[in-house]
Structure formats: C-alpha cells, structure tokens
Structure 1
Amino acid sequence: MAERDVSPWRRFLALPNESRTKTILVAFLVSAICGAFVSLATVYLRPIQTANRAAEEQARIEALVQGIPGMAGILAQSGGVLSTVVIDLASGRVADGIAPDALENALADPGNWTPLDPAEDLAGLGHRPDFVQVFLLRSADEVSLILLPLSGQGYGGRIDAILALRGDTNTIAGLTITQHSETPGLGGRIDEASWQASFPGTELRDAAGEMRFRVAGGPASGVHEVDGITGATRTGRGVTQMVRFWLGPNGYGPFLQAIERGEF
C-alpha cells in the first residue's frame, strides 16, 4: 500500500484544476506576490520620483523667473537653487494652505486684501494683497537672493516691478520694471537697462536701520540713492515710495525679519 503524502503543498497541487479551493488559493497567492512586487517597486522608485518632481518644479520656477526681463543675468551671477513660496505679509511667514497655483483664486476673495490708511499708503495702492508669491535663491543652505514683486503709482499710472535683494536683506541686486504707463522719453525711461543699472549695490537702510532709499533728482550722490531721470521727478518719486512701502512694515518687512532670523 502506497504511503500517503502528508505534505500540504503536494496535496494542494494534487487537487484538480477545477477545484474551487485551488482556484481561490492560486488567485490569492498571485495577488500577494504581485502586491509585494508593487510595494518593493514603489519603495525603490519613490526617491527617483521625488527627484524628478523636484527637477520639474525647479525648471518651472526658473522658466517663470527668467521670463522676467533682466532677471536671468542676476540669477546667473548669484548661483544656487531657486524656490518659490507664498507668504502671509502680516506675519511674514509661509501662508497656511495657499500654494502658488492657488494664489490667484485666493486673491479673488476681497477678504484677502487689506485696506491701507492714507498715512501708510506710500505707494498709492489703496489696498494691498494679504498674500504674495516670492522667490528665494539658496546657496549653501542660506538665502542668497530674494525676488520681491512691487507695485505702486507713478506719474502716468501703475508701475509693476521685481526687486532682487541680496541675502543681507538690505542690498539691492537689481530691479526690473515689468509694466508701467509713464510718458515715453521721460518717465518711460524707467524700463531702460541703462537706468536700471544704477540699482545694484544700492543699500536700503543706514546703520541705524532707517529707510534711506530714494531715486535722486539727478545723479546719485550716496550708497542709498539711484540716478534720477531728467524731467521725470514724479516718476522717480513714485519708484521711491513704491520701494519704501514694500520694504517697510506694511509690506515685506515682517518677511525680511524672518529671513534675518534664519526662518527661511
């Protein structure tokens, strides 16, 4: 009499293929093995996927910033890794729950704008957004360059600009005008590279921390001044007030203080 095979595995294999038990167990084993392979692949590929997403985000940010006239050269000189963040102007910290791609929808809500008292509204805006997207260039884990959107009123209407500020939060690396309605040949010269070339190296505040930046009435006479434009006094005053407002307590002041504390 043949010895009975007591091996569960052999007994399982000996079952007919039509057996419901065998079909269910085979399906379970195949699913378990496939699930294990998928889990292993996910664990292995996660760092690669994360790196790819980071590279795509970096490329998107760089393309956005380098599309701003004059910024590509400033970035090339500074080096580092560029990132972007939406900040809450009142606190100077990262805006809670508002990503860059959601900023437009957030600012469509009138409740996300702050009315400005005439005495503090140096830039003539009437109200300012509560949240702004800024760009940071990092080198050796430190912020080396800060790109800040600015807006204000000139002689002919609204002026929009991007100010590049060194990591010391006091030295201007450059400024580019992105939109204006100033008089051609006069105030309209603010979009000329020759005038914007006087901004790099200009300091915003003196040793006591007092805001001293200004567009001069003529050639700059100190480290806190940039050249004025002949016949465009009101345009120059508008740029002066725009920079002073946005770099002050009602603009990026709290954010710049957070950078100085090493919170970014």
Structure 2
Amino acid sequence: MSSNKETFGKTLGFVVVVCLVCAALVSVSAVKLKPLQTANKLLDQQTKILEAAGLLELGTKDGIVATYEKFVVAKMIDLDTGKFIEGDAASFDERRDARDVTKSIKPANDIAGINRRANSSVVYLVRNGAGTIDSVILPIVGSGLWDLMYGFIGLEVDLNTVKSVVYSDHKETPGLGAEVLNPKWKALWPGKKMFDQQNAIAIKIVKGGAKKDDIHGVDALSGATLTSVGVEKTLHFWLGEEGYGPFINNFRDGGLN
C-alpha cells in the first residue's frame, strides 16, 4: 500500500513540475514575443493606411515604414467637435477606449452595431511630394455578419471623393463576406462620392450591381447581403454626426491645407 502511495506521490509531483515548467516557458515566450507582435501589428496597420492612400508599393518592410514616415502624419481628433487635440496617436487604441466607459459613449443611433464609440480617434493626413495634403485616411469599425469589421476609408482632400476602402480585420465567411478583401471589389471604390451636392450622405451598396453612371453606388458582395448592408451602415455611421461628420464639416473642400 505504501508503495502505491509513494508511486502516486511521485507521479503527482512529476505532473506538477511539468505544469510549472510549461507555464514558465509560455510566460517567457509571451513576454519575448510581445515586441515582435506589436511591431508586426504596426506594420500591418501602416500597410493598410498606405493602401487606402494609394501609396502602397510592394517591397520590403523597411520600404513600407519609410514611405509611411515620409508621407503620413497621424493626428488625434475629438469626435464630438471634429477638432484636433493633443494626444499620442501612436499609442492610441480605439478598441481599448471603446471598452472604457469613461473614454467612450453609447451612440444614440448605433446603425453600425458597435455598442460604444471612443471619444477620440486618429486621422491620417497624407501629403504628396510637394508637402500638400492630398488625402485623408479615416479608421472605421462596424458589424458584419459574424463580428465587428475594422478598416479604413481613404478620401481625397475634399473629404468626399473616395480613394479606397480597405478592410484590415474581419471574421466574415471566405468566398462571401470575406470578399471585402477581393481586389476586384476594392477597385470599384475609387472616384465614388460619399456625399451628394447638399452634403447629405449618399454612398450606397447596391444589390444586383450599381449603374455605371452612379457616382454614389457600389456593387454589393455576391451572396453576402448582411456583410454588404454592414458595410453601408458602417460608412453612414462614421460619415455622420456621431462619427467623423464634425471633422468633415470643419475641413471640407480642402480646408486642411
């Protein structure tokens, strides 16, 4: 009997030691890998911003970073007033602030299905070779079929004409909602107008396909009605008064230069 107890005790001790060693290894790995994960996340963000600005050139990591640092300036804004504010744009985390009730609001008209909206945001001002701002990149987030989808709107300096709509993070169905990443669908956006002549939001996703002369219409994603509706509602929310509307009103028609 004592022999069995001794064997059980040794086995239990061995298991405990193995668990402690494995936990230590996982902790050490997580700590050591965090800087690399942070750097990769930043590089992906910079890549998507350059794509939204029409400046993405295939190349090395250093090439993307250099292009971003040369042409892009990130600035914090207060979403309620649309004015620039002091703040560290590099460390700003929209998802973190949106979860903090002291740094976010619950939208009165939450058509994007985000639940809470951070009080602040980052806008990316993109300058050309002459140093003049020629496009603005606005981060967006809204519900798709399965979860929130994160992306960027690239607008020309009139804050109306689309340069690109780029999604960077989503959980949509491959071959359906995930077609937001399809280059053919993204190619439909450049030149479209977000607002009509009365400055009302006019962009729409058209089931069955938009007419060629429709400057506000973009083809819906085939077989992905709910994702398409989500994209349209996301754009209408973020272009509206509870999104970037105040910022757009402040700087519309080249007011940033």
| TM-score in same-fold range (> 0.5) | yes
From 181, 185, 209, the counterpart of 1:191: 181
Q: Deviations over 1:59-78 (max 9, x none)?
A: xxx9675422871770269x
Q: Distance in 2 between matches of 1:124 and 1:172?
A: 23
2:167 corresponds in structure 1 to 177
Q: Note if 1:112 corresponds to 2:95.
A: no
Unaligned runs of 5+ residues in structure 1 are 1-61
> Aligned pair count?
199
Q: Deviations over 1:119-164 (max 9, x none)?
A: x111011110111111001345643100111000011211111110
Residue type of the alignment partner of 1:134: V
Matches within 5 A, 1:217-228: 217-221=207-211, 222-228=214-220
Q: Distance in 2 between matches of 1:124 and 1:203?
A: 24
Question: Helix, strand or coil for the counterpart of 1:75?
Answer: coil
Q: Note if 1:71 corresponds to 2:51.
A: yes
Q: Note if 1:130 corresponds to 2:110.
A: no
1:66–1:72: 8 Å Cα contact kept in structure 2? no
TM-score where L is the length of structure 2? 0.70
Q: Distance in 1 between matches of 2:182 and 2:256?
A: 36
Question: Helix, strand or coil for the counterpart of 1:122?
Answer: coil
Q: Distance in 1 between matches of 2:159 and 2:182?
A: 25
Q: Distance in 2 between matches of 1:215 and 1:66?
A: 27
Matches within 5 A, 1:31-50: none
Question: Helix, strand or coil for the counterpart of 1:239?
Answer: helix
From 51, 68, 85, the counterpart of 2:75: 85
1:172–1:202: 8 Å Cα contact kept in structure 2? yes
Q: Deviations over 1:137-192 (max 9, x none)?
A: 13456431001110000112111111101101111100111011111111121111
Residue 247 to residue 82, structure 1, CA distance change in 2 (3 Å): same
Matches within 5 A, 1:137-152: 137-139=126-128, 142-152=132-142
1:94 corresponds in structure 2 to 84
After TM superposition, the runs of 4+ consecutive aligned structure 1 residues lying more than 6 A away are none
Residue type of the alignment partner of 2:72: L
2:104–2:116: 8 Å Cα contact kept in structure 1? yes
Question: Helix, strand or coil for the counterpart of 1:111?
Answer: coil
Higher relative contact order (CA 8 A, sep 6+): 2
Q: Distance in 2 between matches of 1:69 and 1:184?
A: 23
Q: Distance in 2 between matches of 1:198 and 1:148?
A: 19
Residue type of the alignment partner of 2:255: G
Q: Distance in 2 between matches of 1:217 and 1:172?
A: 20
Q: Note if 1:210 corresponds to 2:210.
A: no
From 244, 251, 262, the counterpart of 2:243: 251
Q: Distance in 2 between matches of 1:158 and 1:66?
A: 20
Give 1 or 2 for the bigger CA radius of gyration: 1
TM-score where L is the length of structure 1? 0.68
1:262 corresponds in structure 2 to 255
After the TM superposition, which of the residue ranges 241-250 and 79-88 deviates more from structure 2?
79-88
Q: Distance in 1 between matches of 2:188 and 2:168?
A: 17
Q: Distance in 1 between matches of 2:184 and 2:72?
A: 27
1:90–1:130: 8 Å Cα contact kept in structure 2? yes
Residue 177 to residue 244, structure 1, CA distance change in 2 (3 Å): same
Q: Distance in 1 between matches of 2:140 and 2:104?
A: 15
1:235 corresponds in structure 2 to 227
Structure 1 residue 208: Cα displacement: 1.7
1:134–1:148: 8 Å Cα contact kept in structure 2? yes
Note the aligned Cα RMSD (angstroms): 2.7
Q: Distance in 1 between matches of 2:131 and 2:147?
A: 40
Q: Distance in 2 between matches of 1:252 and 1:103?
A: 17
Residue 69 to residue 246, structure 1, CA distance change in 2 (3 Å): closer
Q: Deviations over 1:85-107 (max 9, x none)?
A: 011101111123x2213423982
